[in-house]
Amino acid sequence: MKFCKVCGWAYQAWVTHKHLYDQNDKQADTLEKAVSFFNRLSTITHEYSLQQVSKLHDPAQQGDDLNVSIEFVVKYGEWGDKEAEVKKIAEKLAVLGKLLKPARNKILSHYDLNALLVNEALGGFPEGEDDIYFAALQELVDEVHDRWVDGGPYPFDALCKNDVSEFLNVLERSK
């Protein structure tokens, strides 16, 4: 199902940035070899991952168009006896998703003049809340996959962590 795939892509974008920058304990041996480039790449990967998460919080429908979003799968999922459980997960995700809304509306999707002039951080997850968000998103994706695809979970592809580790090892070895 497309919903599972877009959620998985948001996860991969987030985990790639997180492991390359936030959890990289070898920055002096890796990212500091090309500081300007990696600072730029940090901004690109950070904004892109926030944008992917923000899109998951779009309304189910805008005009005549349907969006593949959390609201869409909750609203049109025909959940039966699982409806309360699915709505509870969606509510948890919505609380954290609202933290990104100012950034989405002012910088990620548009170049708001005032936001650019003020140049303040507009949204993000407090420390550790990103992990909570993606754990809840994994729960929802598993429910969607179990109900609508072929049963069972749909684990996010965490192999991108290995890709980041290998990339950092290559950088570390280059002198």
Give me the tens of pLDDT residue by residue for the chain, a chain 175 residues long: 899 999 999 999 999 999 999 999 999 899 998 999 999 999 899 889 989 999 999 999 999 999 999 999 999 999 999 999 999 999 999 988 888 887 776 666 766 677 667 766 656 667 888 999 999 999 999 999 999 887 889 999 989 999 999 999 999 988 6
Enter the pTM of the model. Answer: 0.90
In the 8-state DSSP scheme, what is residue 15?
Answer: H
3-state secondary structure at position 47:
helix
Per residue in 144-173, is it b (16+ CB within 10 Å) or e — as a string? bbebeeeeeebebeeebbeebeeebeebee
Domain count of the chain?
Answer: 1
Domain with 58 in it: 2-173
What's the pLDDT score for residue 81? 95
3-state secondary structure at position 65:
strand
